[in-house]
Chains A and B, each alone.
Chain A
Amino acid sequence: SQTIHQWPATLVQPVGSPLSLECTVEGTSNPNLYWYRQAAGRGLQLLFYSVGIGQISSEVPQNLSASRPQDRQFILSSKKLLLSDSGFYLCAWRASGGSETQYFGPGTRLLVL
């Protein structure tokens, strides 16, 4: 069966510091991968998606970037965090080849102070 992992679970970072959040998927090959952010009490906003290694599409202009160095690894980064980067970050995967359902990881709660 497939599983998706995210770490860390919680992170408190000062403004201006760098960020690296990691997402890995097990039990599937060549998944589509997605990063979402959820502000408090709100729905999810799609940040990035990837259909293959090194292929990243950005949905909204922002202070963040994403990379996919391996087939089942998706990384969310920032060089200098802003207060507005605080939120709950969720990674999701979808099987390639027409499957429509997305499966979400447990999320990383980021607080920028």
Chain B
Amino acid sequence: DQQVKQNSPSLSVQEGRISILNCDYTNSMFDYFLWYKKYPAEGPTFLISISSIKDKNEDGRFTVFLNKSAKHLSLHIVPSQPGDSAVYFCAAKASGSRLTFGEGTQLTVNP
């Protein structure tokens, strides 16, 4: 049972434009959500998080939106840069439980 799903395995965006990465979840007990970025041959790096009491969290070019009624979160990157090209994983957890990861989306930002 895949509780966290990233339905787009890949996304290609032009430099300077907005990248929107999507993630859906099924477990209504999830109350903390994160995005990680992974470059080849490196471990995932924490990017940004949001708790269920908020619907938006912003950090520089990165904004995470949470829609609890739709059980959907998204990561917006604007403006996108070639260095943002990586695999992005969303993850979610309920209080006292471990993180559950999505399958990842490969973002390619073209110069």
To the question of whether A and B form a pair in one complex, the answer is no
